[in-house]
């Protein structure tokens, strides 16, 4: 009896070793390129551990549970042997896959095969596989002993992943605290500054006017406020444009509660010391710290796509799209760099923070990575299963860019509806703009600047402002003085720009910078001329 029990435990241990070997080796394959680039998403080590649990531990336990269920129902018969044999073959194939990747490193299976010569690799793989299968048939117990040693090694290799991938540090203790301004009152308006990354002016137009059919909500907002037809930005890079918008808002911290929402981690890093001290932050750090299981789920799905052949991906496209839309994620295969991992979630957090008259006396600054590449969403905001995951400046797709711009309009409509439901729309100040236009290339001495890159939309809706169209020369350096003017506050003493509503407009050049190159717009033919290249 004791011998029988011992044999049963040994059999169960053997099954567990094969299961954990197969799953651990699969985890190594899946997680190798599951992590987005650090510029887009840098998660905590805890999040990586959660992902390992989702990708490795839970599937292994599920397979072990299936093994026990089959054994309990059918005994140690044919069904159980078939189940374990399949796991065994999977583990062997995954070992071969790892060897193949080390032989011909590549980003995916097809690339790894072609990188070393398709026919040669297939023949070698088939030969090795035949040899291993033959070895498994004649020396099954010896191979079982191999897995007895391999399983702990594979598990340890997976556990090492948190120390191998780039992860972010914990946020300052003050980061999560709410900042409440003592002078805030309901006599002050609710202010919403919406900066959509790469939203250009031209994409919104039809015959010189806002295309009300494709962009009905932006058109309605423009009809209810001031639509600027001559607005431009001053820099190619968001990291230099956004401070011209955020810094003036931050200077109002003694009068207003300030809330910052940005999913671009480099922008938040610039202001992280002020988070919890001067303003409340609900951006990148807040999401990666407080939505760790959600982000881990996104990484787990990415790891699945990493090792999924294209035919399988096509087969599951429809149900996966349904799941992705409800989770608020983009297809990992489209958004391989991870830019839109937090896009939908960021807007939802921004919208959820607007609660009736509590929003009065508060300035909400939202910087959202839309319609910035990659083009992962349709005009309705549905996740796209195909598209361009190219880096910036490569294979710009105007129609997909337009579709993602239409999704911006959907989000603007959601904000307007929320403000009306909360009863504060009439008292709200809404500023909508882009940090820059679409950027299909980097302008320089050999690549003249196109007007569409520098030109941005600008809509300002405020109580008592009225409806109008303005062709005033607005540049983003004018944002601070313009905001002060709207709020009836004295201008900033050292402001570089001037209010868009000032009666005394200066005669000045439109300036646009890219690295060390400076472009000035010529009034003669509305072209941009390179005047300085250091």
Query: Could you report the per-residue pLDDT of 382-439, keeping only the tens digit for each?
Result: 999 875 545 444 568 899 999 999 999 999 999 999 999 999 999 999 999 999 999 9
**What angle, 0 to 180 degrees and rounded to 10, lies between the N-to-C axes of helices 140-159 and 118-138?**
120
pLDDT band, residue 1 (cuts 50/70/90): very low
Q: 205-206 and 209-210: which strand pairing?
A: antiparallel
185 vs 468, residue with greater confidence: 468
Query: For residue 222, which of 398, 416, 32, 403 has the smallest C-alpha distance?
Result: 416
CA distances from 258 to 363, 419, 470, 476, 482 (A): 5, 18, 28, 20, 17
DSSP 456-503: --EEEE-TTT--EEE---EEGGGHHHHHHHHHT-PPPTT-SS--TT-S
Helix, strand, or coil (residue 308): coil
Using the predicted structure, report yes or no on whether residue 13 has a pLDDT greater than 60: yes
Q: Give residue limits of the domains in the chain.
A: 2-164, 187-281+342-502
Topology adopted by domain 187-281+342-502: Alkaline Phosphatase, subunit A (3.40.720)
Least confident piece of the model among 6-15, 450-459, 484-493: 6-15
Least confident piece of the model among 144-158, 216-230, 239-253, 340-354: 144-158
pLDDT of residue 155: 73
Using the predicted structure, report yes or no on whether residue 301 has a pLDDT greater than 50: yes
**What angle, 0 to 180 degrees and rounded to 10, lies between the N-to-C axes of helices 292-306 and 45-52?**
50
Using the predicted structure, report yes or no on whether residue 458 has a pLDDT greater than 50: yes
pLDDT digits (tens, 9 = 90+) for 137-160: 555 556 566 666 666 777 777 777
Sign of CA dihedral 216, 221, 222, 228: negative
Is there a contact between 171 and 245 (Cβ–Cβ < 8 Å)? Answer: no
Cα 279 to chain centroid distance, Å, stands at: 23
**How many whole angstroms separate alpha carbon 205 and alpha carbon 435?**
18
**How many whole angstroms separate alpha carbon 258 and alpha carbon 253?**
6
Query: For residue 429, which of 188, 186, 179, 251 has the smallest C-alpha distance?
Result: 188
pLDDT digits (tens, 9 = 90+) for 106-131: 554 455 445 445 555 555 666 666 66
The β-bridge partners of 90 are: none
Residue 280: how many CB atoms within 10 A of its CB? Answer: 23
265 vs 104, residue with greater confidence: 265
Sign of CA dihedral 386, 391, 392, 395: negative
What is the largest distance, in Å, between two alpha-carbon atoms of the chain? Answer: 99
pLDDT of residue 246: 97
Mean pLDDT of 13-23: 78
pLDDT digits (tens, 9 = 90+) for 497-519: 999 999 888 888 999 999 889 99
């Amino acid at each position: 009896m004791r011998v029988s029990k011992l044999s049963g435990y040994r059999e169960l241990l053997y099954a567990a070793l094969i299961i954990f070997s197969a799953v651990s080796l699969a985890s190594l394959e899946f997680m190798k390129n599951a992590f987005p680039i650090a510029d887009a998403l840098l998660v905590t080590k805890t999040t990586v551990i959660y992902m390992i649990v989702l990708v490795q531990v839970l599937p292994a336990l599920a397979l072990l549970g299936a093994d026990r269920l089959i054994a309990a129902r059918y005994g140690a018969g044919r069904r159980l042997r078939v189940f374990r044999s399949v796991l065994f073959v999977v583990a062997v194939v995954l070992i071969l896959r790892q060897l193949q990747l080390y032989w011909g490193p590549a980003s995916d299976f097809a690339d790894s095969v072609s990188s070393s010569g398709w026919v040669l690799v297939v023949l070698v793989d088939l030969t090795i596989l035949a040899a291993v299968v033959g070895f498994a048939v004649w020396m099954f117990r010896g191979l079982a002993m191999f897995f007895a040693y391999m399983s702990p090694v594979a598990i340890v290799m997976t556990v090492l992943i948190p120390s191998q991938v780039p992860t972010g540090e914990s946020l300052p203790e003050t980061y999560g605290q709410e900042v409440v301004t003592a002078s805030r009152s309901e006599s002050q308006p609710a202010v919403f500054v919406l900066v959509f990354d790469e939203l250009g002016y031209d994409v919104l137009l039809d015959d010189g006017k806002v295309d009300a059919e494709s962009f009905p909500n932006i058109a309605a907002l423009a009809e209810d406020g001031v639509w600027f037809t001559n607005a431009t930005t001053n820099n190619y890079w968001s990291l230099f444009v956004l401070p011209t918008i955020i810094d003036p808002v931050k200077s109002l911290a003694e009068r207003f509660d300030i809330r910052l929402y940005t999913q671009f981690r480099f922008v938040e890093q610039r202001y992280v010391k002020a988070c919890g001290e001067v303003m409340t932050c609900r951006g990148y750090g807040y999401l990666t710290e407080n939505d760790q299981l959600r982000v881990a789920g996104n990484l787990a799905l990415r790891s699945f796509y990493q090792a999924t052949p294209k035919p399988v991906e096509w087969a599951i496209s429809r149900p996966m799209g349904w799941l992705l839309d409800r989770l608020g994620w983009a297809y990992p295969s489209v958004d391989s760099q991870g830019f839109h991992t937090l896009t939908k979630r960021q807007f939802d957090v921004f919208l959820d923070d607007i609660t009736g008259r509590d929003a009065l006396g508060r300035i909400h600054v939202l910087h959202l990575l839309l319609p910035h590449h990659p083009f992962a969403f349709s005009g309705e905001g549905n996740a796209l299963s195909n598209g361009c995951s190219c880096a910036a400046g490569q294979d710009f797709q105007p129609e997909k860019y337009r579709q993602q711009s239409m999704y911006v309009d959907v989000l603007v409509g959601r904000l307007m509806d929320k403000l009306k439901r909360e009863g504060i729309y009439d008292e709200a100040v809404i500023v909508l703009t882009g940090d820059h236009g679409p950027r299909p290339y980097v302008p320089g001495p050999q690549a003249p600047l196109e007007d569409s890159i520098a030109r941005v939309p600008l809509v300002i809706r405020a109580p008592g402002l009225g409806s109008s169209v303005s062709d005033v020369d607005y540049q983003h350096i004018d944002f601070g003085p313009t905001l002060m003017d709207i709020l009836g506050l004295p201008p900033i003493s050292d402001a570089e720009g001037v209010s868009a509503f000032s009666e005394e407009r200066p005669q000045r050049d439109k300036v646009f910078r890219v690295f060390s190159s400076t472009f000035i717009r010529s009034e003669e033919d509305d072209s941009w001329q390179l005047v300085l290249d250091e």
